[in-house]
Amino acid sequence: MDHLETGRLGEALAERFFRAKGWTILGRNIRVRGGEIDLVAMDGPELVLIEVRTRSIGKILPAEETVGPRKLKALVRSGRIYVDRCRWQGPWRIDLLGINLDEEGHPRFSHLPDITVGRVQV
Amino acid sequence: MGPILGVTLKGIEAIPIDIEVEITGGLFVISVVGLPDAAVREARERVRAALRSNGIQLRGRIALNLAPADLPKVGSLLDLPMAVGLAMESGAVRVGETALFLGELAMDGRLRTTKGAVPAALLARKMEIPLFLPPGNAREVALVKGVKAFAPPDLKSLLAHLRGECRIPPVTESSAEMEDKVIEPDLADIKGQAAAKRALEIAAAGHHNLLLMGSPGSGKTLLARALRGILPPLSDEERLETLLVKSTLGIPAKPDRTRPYRVVHHTASAIALCGGGTTLRPGEISLAHRGVLFLDEFPEFHRDLLEALRQPLEDGIITVSRASGSVTYPARVLLVCACNPCPCGYWGDPVEPCRCSAHTLEKYRNRLSGPILDRIDLHVSVPRLTPEELVCLEGRQGPSSREIREKVTAARKIQQERWKAQGFGCNAEIPERLVRSGLCLSRKVRPFLMEAVRGLRLSGRGISRVLKVARTIADLRGDLEVSVEDVCEALAYRGGGNPIDGA
């Protein structure tokens, strides 16, 4: 399984994960200028843009820790473009879902909501 | 004006701050406008965390405006009104009636003690609105009469109260009484020094400034400490004034009526003594308001520091002007100074010879400026005790501090009764227009005073000060009229231009 396959598997798992939470999934792999949004969903009144990170066993860093400040900035930039494009007026946020696969391929989810709080100067 | 008000401090005054909140769509961010300082800007994180731990999740783009916009907002006391404003705007609570909120928030929503509770209480009383404040501030606010104050332990119970789900009991007023504790050292334990003890009694009764001069080890500092034990209790109004100054610095209030007693070391800076600094805080002279400011080793203080005391000693207030604005603090102190008669300390001593040259003596004396000494009513020399006195005198000497305090308190009561209509409470504050009235200067005394003024070359201020002290001496006797003897005693405490020359 190469890294692209791992990624696709992860996004599928992510969609199931959020559906199970009761969120409405609005889109997957939405391309915007300069980036891509893995998953878009509604959590109650709030629009959530989700970055999915999947890693199989053997990597040193867990998946959710691979988003650094540069990636965060890129996510905010893509998010703004997307929110603008679909004319969304309400509140929105960016979540991170880390999926770590064990030896048998079972996923372990780690969901970090609202990752921009206190980090990005707007 | 909106329903949610906070305060910021300007000197000892609380200024109401209107909290306005706007929440729009977008990525979560809180921006605070209205000249917040770093502590107010950082309140964003505390407020967000405190609301979150109470189940209120903030969303979207949030703008907080603190009006009036051109007044700088200082400190963490705006956390609570900001949190309540945000809770209301996000629909978690409704605040119908205008109220004043004050307090710093912990991340979990607990309320932390802040400074400024007493000024805020006075503002709430003036505006006739309720005040919500941290439980740690309840005690000082309880001493302010006529305030509707509530002290919820945390944000959760405050929100429940505002929703009407439960009621927090209002802070009950308390009026603390003078503790009858013995303050060491007791006057009766001090050997000899009858004249100095009498001067302490007069100083305490009329709030007159005092200079103690004597050789090393003669007991100047001990006497000054003993003054604490004989000061009359603070009146309600006076206590509120001292509370106000303490509250602006966040010093917890003692629930009794003990007067402030501040000892300042001679290395103190002018700002520490008079107030000021970048955030404009009151100095020692304001903390000693209505109490004692003790300057030991008086001539060692910087000259400009002593000169800075001249105006507040006269006016009872000190105005600190800086680029960031000017504020006025109360500064009516009983100044107690202690000094040696010369650098070696033995000038005028009957046994020990003085080793100072004429030049060093002159230099030392020049440090004490005439104008500042002119403002000290009671100049007392504290001689070294003789070997007989030191070794042989046993047991208690004269009346105890408690007895003197009762006498002093009675004399102060007479003064308060007499001057109530004029709006002040002690003889040191008698204004010029009343000093030469019949209350202080009777017809009988006039010729004698004339003679004394001629002989001693007293200044105009000198005469006023002598008459004020004489009035206090008469009050200690419980006499309505000031007698020639009273004026005579008052004159004895007044040195010449320089007390050292007169010694």
Candidates B27, B45, B48; nearest CB to A92: B27
The ipTM estimated for the assembled molecules is 0.79
Mutate to test the interface with B, among A83, A92, A120 (most CBs of B within 10 A): A92
- Residue B499's pLDDT is 43
pLDDT of residue B34 exceeding 60:
yes
Q: Please answer yes or no on whether A93 and B25 come within 8 Å at the CB atom.
A: no
Q: What is the pLDDT of residue B176?
A: 62
Distance from CA of B108 to the nearest CA of A (A): 17
- Residue of chain A with shortest Cα separation from B59: A91
Residue of chain B whose Cα is closest to the Cα of A115: B28
User: Which chain B residue lies closest to A93 (C-alpha atoms)?
Assistant: B27
B→A contacts (Cβ < 8 Å), by residue, are 25-29, 45, 48, 59-61
- H helix runs in B250-294, sequence order: 270-274, 284-287
At B160 the pLDDT is 95
User: Residues in chain A, how many?
Assistant: 122
**CATH class given for the domain over B187-418:** alpha beta
Nearest-angstrom CA–CA distance, B154 and B158: 6
Chain A residues contacting B, CB < 8 Å? Answer: 45-46, 76, 79-80, 83, 88-94, 114, 116-118, 120, 122
ω before B72 within 30° of 0 (cis)?
no
pLDDT of residue B366: 81
Does residue B1 have a pLDDT over 80? no
Give the minimum alpha-carbon distance from A26 to chain B in angstroms, rounded to a whole number: 18
Interchain pair A91, B45: CB under 8 A: no
**Chains A and B: how many Cβ contacts under 8 Å?**
34
Using 50, 70 and 90 to split pLDDT, how confident is the model at B351? confident
Q: How far apart are CA B472 and CA B466, in angstroms?
A: 10
Residue B502: the pLDDT is 41
Residues of chain B with CATH 3.30.230.10: 4-163
Can you say how many angstroms the Cα of residue B486 is from the centroid of all Cα atoms in its chain?
A: 30
Per-residue pLDDT reduced to its tens digit, B155-203: 999 999 999 998 899 998 876 665 666 677 888 888 888 899 999 999 9
Pairing of strands B378-382, B334-339: unpaired
What pLDDT score does B441 carry?
Answer: 84
Q: Could you give the residue range(s) of every CATH 3.40.50.300 domain in chain B?
A: 187-418
Chain A residues whose CB is inside 8 A of the B26 CB are 83, 91-92
pLDDT for B503 beyond 60:
no
Closest residue by Cα to residue A53 from A104, A115, A6: A6
pLDDT digits (tens, 9 = 90+) for B97-155: 999 999 999 999 999 999 999 999 999 999 999 999 999 999 889 988 899 999 999 99
The pLDDT assigned to B179 comes to: 62
What tokens appear for B136 in the block?
């740690």
What pLDDT does B497 receive? 42
Is residue A120 scored above 70 in pLDDT?
A: no
A76: closest chain B residue by CA: B27
Across the interface, of B25, B28, B45, the residue whose CB is closest to A88 is B25
Helix (H, G, I), strand (E, B) or coil at B118: helix
AA letter at B153: P
Residue B140 distance to chain A (closest CA, Å): 36
Distance between CA atoms of residues B333 and A103, nearest Å:
79
Please, where are the H alpha helices in B207-252?
220-227, 236-249
Query: Which one of B45, B48, B59 has the shortest CB-CB distance to A91?
Result: B59
Within 8 A of B45 by CB-CB distance, chain A residues are 118
Q: Cβ contact (<8 Å) for A93 and B28?
A: yes
- Nearest C-alpha of chain A: how many angstroms from B67? 23
A9 Cα to chain B: minimum distance (Å):
29
The CATH classification of domain B4-163, taken from the options 3.40.30.10, 3.40.50.720, 3.30.230.10, 3.60.20.30: 3.30.230.10
How do residues B289-326 score in pLDDT, each as one tens digit? 999 999 998 888 988 888 889 899 989 999 998 877 78
- Residues A100 and A94: their CA atoms lie apart, in Å, by 20
* Tens-place pLDDT, residues B38-51: 999 999 999 999 99
Is pLDDT above 60 for B468? Answer: yes
Say yes or no for a CB contact (<8 Å) between A76 and B27: yes
Question: Which of B23, B27, B48 to substitute to test the interface with A, most A CBs within 10 Å?
Answer: B27
Answer whether B25 sits within 8 Å of A45, measured CB to CB: no
Burial class (CB in 10 A: 0-12, 13-18, 19+), B453: middle
**Which residue out of B23, B28, B48, B52 would a mutagenesis test of the A interface target, given it has the greatest number of A Cβ atoms within 10 Å?**
B28
pLDDT at B242: 93
**How much of chain B, in percent, has pLDDT values that exceed 90?**
56
Q: Do B28 and A88 touch (CB under 8 A)?
A: no
Q: Percent of chain B at pLDDT above 70?
A: 96
